[in-house]
Chains A and B, each alone.
Chain A
Amino acid sequence: MDRHEVYQRISSVVAESSTSPIDLDSVTEETAIAGLGFDSLAILDLLFDLEEEFGIRITAEEIQGIRTVGELVTLLVRRLEASPSDAG
Chain B
Amino acid sequence: MPADDAREGGRATPARSRLRRVVRFKPLRRLLLRHVIPPVALLGIRALGASWRTRVIHRERFDRLLAGGRPIVAGFPHGRTFALLGFMSRPGNGRWLVMCSKSLDGDAMARVEERLGFEVVRGSTGTDGLQALIDMIRRMKGDPGLGACLAIDGSRGPRDVVQGGVIALAQRVGGVVLPVTAAAHPAWVHRRGWDHALVPLPFARVVIVVGEPLDVPPRLKPDELSALCRELEGRLGRARTEAEEQLRAGGGDAKAGRAARA
| Interface residues in chain A, defined as those with a beta carbon under 8 Å from any beta carbon in chain B | 19-20, 37, 39-45, 47-48, 59-61, 64
Q: How many A-B residue pairs have CB under 8 A?
A: 38
Asked whether B133 lies within 8 Å of A44 as measured between CB atoms, the reply is yes
Question: Contact check: which of A40, A42, A48, A59 meets B131 at CB < 8 Å?
Answer: A59
Which B146-169 residues have a C-beta within 8 angstroms of A? 164-165, 168
The answer for the CA separation of A74 and B133 in the assembled complex, in Å, is 25
| Interface residues in chain B, defined as those with a beta carbon under 8 Å from any beta carbon in chain A | 127-128, 130-131, 133-134, 137, 164-165, 168, 172, 219-222, 225
Asked whether A19 lies within 8 Å of B222 as measured between CB atoms, the reply is yes
Question: Contact check: which of B127, B164, B225 meets A61 at CB < 8 Å?
Answer: B127
The answer for the CA separation of A60 and B219 in the assembled complex, in Å, is 20
Across-interface contacts of B133 in A (CB, < 8 A): 44, 60
The answer for the CA separation of A45 and B218 in the assembled complex, in Å, is 10
Question: Contact check: which of B130, B137, B219 meets A40 at CB < 8 Å?
Answer: B130
Asked whether B134 lies within 8 Å of A42 as measured between CB atoms, the reply is no
The answer for the CA separation of A37 and B130 in the assembled complex, in Å, is 18
Q: Tell me the smallest distance from the CB of B187 to a CB of chain A, in Å.
A: 33
Question: Contact check: which of A20, A39, A42, A60 meets B127 at CB < 8 Å?
Answer: A60
Across-interface contacts of B222 in A (CB, < 8 A): 19, 37, 39, 42
Asked whether A60 lies within 8 Å of B225 as measured between CB atoms, the reply is no
Asked whether B168 lies within 8 Å of A41 as measured between CB atoms, the reply is yes
The answer for the CA separation of A24 and B187 in the assembled complex, in Å, is 58
Asked whether B172 lies within 8 Å of A48 as measured between CB atoms, the reply is yes
Across-interface contacts of A64 in B (CB, < 8 A): 127, 130
The answer for the CA separation of A41 and B95 in the assembled complex, in Å, is 25
Asked whether A19 lies within 8 Å of B220 as measured between CB atoms, the reply is yes
Q: Tell me the smallest distance from the CB of B36 to a CB of chain A, in Å.
A: 33
The answer for the CA separation of A41 and B225 in the assembled complex, in Å, is 10
Asked whether A60 lies within 8 Å of B220 as measured between CB atoms, the reply is no
- Which chain B residue shows the least CB distance to A48? B172
Asked whether A44 lies within 8 Å of B172 as measured between CB atoms, the reply is yes
Using A48-B137, A61-B127 as known contacts, say yes or no to A41 and B164 having CB atoms under 8 A apart: yes
Using A41-B165, A41-B168, A61-B127 as known contacts, say yes or no to A47 and B134 having CB atoms under 8 A apart: yes
* Residue among A37, A39, A41, A44 with most chain B CB within 10 A: A41
- Which chain A residue shows the least CB distance to B223? A19
- Which chain B residue shows the least CB distance to A43? B130
Question: Contact check: which of A41, A45, A47, A61 meets B219 at CB < 8 Å?
Answer: A45
The answer for the CA separation of A45 and B173 in the assembled complex, in Å, is 11
Q: Tell me the smallest distance from the CB of A47 to a CB of chain B, in Å.
A: 7
Q: Tell me the smallest distance from the CB of A72 to a CB of chain B, in Å.
A: 16
Across-interface contacts of A41 in B (CB, < 8 A): 164-165, 168, 225
Across-interface contacts of B221 in A (CB, < 8 A): 19-20
28 residue pairs of the A-B complex, CB under 8 angstroms, read: A19-B221, A19-B222, A20-B221, A37-B222, A39-B222, A40-B164, A41-B164, A41-B165, A41-B168, A42-B222, A43-B130, A44-B130, A44-B137, A44-B168, A45-B172, A45-B219, A47-B134, A48-B137, A59-B134, A60-B127, A60-B128, A60-B131, A60-B133, A60-B134, A61-B127, A61-B131, A64-B127, A64-B130
